A and B are shown apart, each in its own frame.
Chain A
Amino acid sequence: MSSVTAGTGRLVHPTNEAFADIRGEIEAEAAAHPTKKRLGVFFWICVSFIVLVAALATFANLLPLPNPDLGNYNSVQNGGPGWGHLLGTDDLYRDILSRLIYGARVSLVVGFGGALLGLILGGIPAMISAYRRGRVDTALNTGSYVLLAFPAIVAVIAIVSFWGHSMFKITLIIGVFGAPLIFRIVRASTLSYATRDFVLAAKALGASDTRILVRELLPNIMPTIVSFGLIVVATIIVLEGSLAFLGLSVQPPTPSWGNMLNEGSSLLTGAKGQTNFWLVIFPASAMFLLLFCLNVVADKLRTYFDVTEIKL
């Protein structure tokens, strides 16, 4: 619910008297929908944070960072933040900053990869199904209900524990479980456009189904896909993080933010009775900031494109 503020952008008024009543309508329209839509500075800060994390994770090998999996036994065990190790070290003498940067890879690859896979498995059938309707659509729709009723976390825990914990497998499993959710989003969005006149017009002009789907419908549902897609990415990152916290995602020594939180929270009290804040605070903050930025970007995009809440 955003507050509707009166638009400040002045329209060029038609001078002809005959346009007087139309002019009134245009002005009312302009007041209801501000003509200058802006994403705002905050949006761009959040986008840059996500890009920064992605860039650091991608080029981690080129950065002057200590090995994330191997500790330097000359440094302090569970040492606090300092010049040698900006964010401190863990109980295996490993540099936390380095582990954070390498660990971002897991969240980003699983999050975006899983969402992309879900989009391919769920989104494409959803568009075709919503456009064609009929029995197949009814069956797929019921199927997606059934799949969504199955609690993802339980299913993913069970599958991962029997199948394996590699990043590829986790992305695959979470992507498959994300597909019914994306199916529902894309289907609802496609349905709202499939019966519009412009689709009918395209049909009358003899456009093929493929052309209608790709050239007429896809551009219209793109804003929905992008803004809800980012929410799906955030949801998947949370799911992967939860798995990692339970010790069921990528296995040590490979760092991920979830398993850093898991390892850290078992070592909160240090040998000298001190509290090891840095073991938990830094991965928790990193995760919070990434999820927060994804939510902000998705939320601002939704307002910007005027995507209404869709009924799932």
Chain B
Amino acid sequence: MGRYIAKRGVLLVIIILFVSIASFFLVHLLPGNPTDTILGPNQTPENVATVNRELGLNKPLIAQYFIWMGHVFQGNLGQSFTTHQTTASIIRQSFPIDLELIIFSQIIAFAIAFPMAMAAAKRPNRLFDQASNSTTFAMLALPPFVIAPVLVLLFAVHWHIFPGPASYVPITENFWSNIHTMLLPSIVLALGSIVVYFRLLRNDLISTLQEDFITMARSKGLSDRRIMWRHALRPSSVSLLASAGVTIGSLIAGTFIVELLLQMPGLGYQLISSVNQDDYTVVQGITLFVAVAIVLINFIFDFLFTIVDPRIARE
């Protein structure tokens, strides 16, 4: 097990190194340069030279990368050209919104997917199973950018059940109105997760329930409820945990979409507005932060995975 984790650790370092190189060179190797963007029409050779010197763009690229990484390790991700706010402070302000959205959506998703999967797996191929199976299959074709505008149209604009765009309230200001504004975007994000969790858990439960130890438990006279919760659930949640990494990746895309749609100043909203203003240091900083966060979360889930199912590490 120790060896397995060490191996994953090495892979993690390689991945983070790759992510940092990619985030850095992404901006520098592509056509168009930041100096042009910053100066716009006020380009004179002197201006160009000053800006290049200020940004350290006159140094060789490799040197620039190490300087940048040195700053990153000190928590300095540069600052915005337009607002002169530091990237680190932008991230500190907006990241809690993404975190809250993700946590809420996952609570909703688990609360719905688990009971649904257990009910479906109890009687495979019967009415409830078939209905929930085909519903979730159809929902596979409803990514956030399709379902979010429709739900906002119906529940916020037409029926006024939830607040519409640009009504975000920080949780520190007013707890209940924060929850109220967070509910609709969290439901949108939860829908995608429900589909994945339900399908994985249902399939695994059905195959687990056919194992000998379940027959054994039944013959001991244990109740169905106890068998489901105490015997079948844990061995069946392995692929669910394994999928968590992929789910986090797609959740990020989803948060970007709901944030832009509802104008909530989270990381995605900040990223897109910096992209639209060609604010390259902020784009670079947020890209690096989000990518490293996702990679770390994946690593943590991998680790949890080996605890739930120690066989993985031995393979």
A198 within 8 A of B: no
Is the pair A3, B140 in contact by a Cβ cutoff of 8 Å? no
What A residues does B144 contact at CB under 8 A?
A: 242
Q: How far is B138's CA from A49's CA once the two chains are assembled, in angstroms?
A: 16
Number of interface residues of A (CB under 8 A): 47
Give 10 A-B pairs besides A242-B143, A292-B141 with Cβ atoms closer than 8 angstroms.
A149-B19, A151-B291, A157-B275, A163-B32, A242-B144, A245-B260, A246-B272, A248-B272, A261-B146, A265-B261
B26 within 8 A of A: yes
What A residues does B249 contact at CB under 8 A?
A: 151-153
What A residues does B152 contact at CB under 8 A?
A: 265, 268
Kindly specify which of A58-66, A92-100, A128-136, A279-287 makes contact with the partner chain.
A279-287
A19 within 8 A of B: no
Quick one: closest A residue to B299, CB to CB? A149
What A residues does B257 contact at CB under 8 A?
A: 242, 245-246
Is the pair B157, A153 in contact by a Cβ cutoff of 8 Å? no
What A residues does B143 contact at CB under 8 A?
A: 238, 241-242, 287, 291
Q: How far is B260's CA from A157's CA once the two chains are assembled, in angstroms?
A: 14
A159 within 8 A of B: yes
Contact mask B274-300 → A, CB, 8 Å, 1/0? 011000100110010011001100100
A44 within 8 A of B: no
Is the pair B283, A151 in contact by a Cβ cutoff of 8 Å? no
Contact mask B237-264 → A, CB, 8 Å, 1/0? 0000000000001001100110011000
In the complex, what's the smallest C-beta–C-beta distance from B80 to chain A, in angstroms?
15
Total residue contacts A-B, CB cutoff 8 A = 138
B58 within 8 A of A: no
Tell which of B18, B124, B141, B294 has the most Cβ of chain A within 10 Å.
B141
Is the pair B287, A154 in contact by a Cβ cutoff of 8 Å? yes
B304 within 8 A of A: no
Given A149-B15, A161-B275: A246 in contact with B256 (beta carbons within 8 A)? yes
Contact mask B1-39 → A, CB, 8 Å, 1/0? 000000000010011001100110011001110000000
Q: How far is B257's CA from A245's CA once the two chains are assembled, in angstroms?
A: 7
Contact mask A140-161 → B, CB, 8 Å, 1/0? 0010011001111111011101
Q: Which one of B32, B148, B271, B298 contacts A149 once the chains associate, using CB atoms below 8 Å?
A: B298
Q: How far is B154's CA from A281's CA once the two chains are assembled, in angstroms?
A: 10
Given A158-B283, A247-B272, A281-B150: A151 in contact with B294 (beta carbons within 8 A)? yes
A264 within 8 A of B: yes
Interface, chain A (partner B; CB < 8 A): 1, 3, 142, 145-146, 149-155, 157-159, 161-163, 234, 238-239, 241-242, 244-248, 258, 261, 264-265, 268-269, 275, 277, 280-281, 284, 287-289, 291-292, 294-295, 299
Tell which of A142, A153, A291 has the most Cβ of chain B within 10 Å.
A153
Q: How far is B148's CA from A149's CA once the two chains are assembled, in angstroms?
A: 26
Q: How far is B15's CA from A269's CA once the two chains are assembled, in angstroms?
A: 46
Is the pair A248, B141 in contact by a Cβ cutoff of 8 Å? no
In the complex, what's the smallest C-beta–C-beta distance from A276 to chain B, in angstroms?
8
What B residues does A292 contact at CB under 8 A?
A: 138, 140-141
Q: How far is B11's CA from A142's CA once the two chains are assembled, in angstroms?
A: 8
Tell which of A159, A161, A261, A287 has the most Cβ of chain B within 10 Å.
A161
What A residues does B23 contact at CB under 8 A?
A: 158
Given A241-B146, A242-B253, A268-B152: A154 in contact with B290 (beta carbons within 8 A)? yes
In the complex, what's the smallest C-beta–C-beta distance from A100 to chain B, in angstroms?
14
In the complex, what's the smallest C-beta–C-beta distance from A6 to chain B, in angstroms?
14
In the complex, what's the smallest C-beta–C-beta distance from B65 to chain A, in angstroms?
16
Is the pair B146, A264 in contact by a Cβ cutoff of 8 Å? no
Q: How far is B298's CA from A139's CA once the two chains are assembled, in angstroms?
A: 21
Q: Which one of B138, B150, B153, B291 contacts A154 once the chains associate, using CB atoms below 8 Å?
A: B291
Is the pair A158, B287 in contact by a Cβ cutoff of 8 Å? yes
In the complex, what's the smallest C-beta–C-beta distance from B291 to chain A, in angstroms?
6
Q: How far is B27's CA from A3's CA once the two chains are assembled, in angstroms?
A: 52
Q: Which one of B11, B26, B142 contacts A158 once the chains associate, using CB atoms below 8 Å?
A: B26
In the complex, what's the smallest C-beta–C-beta distance from B313 to chain A, in angstroms?
16
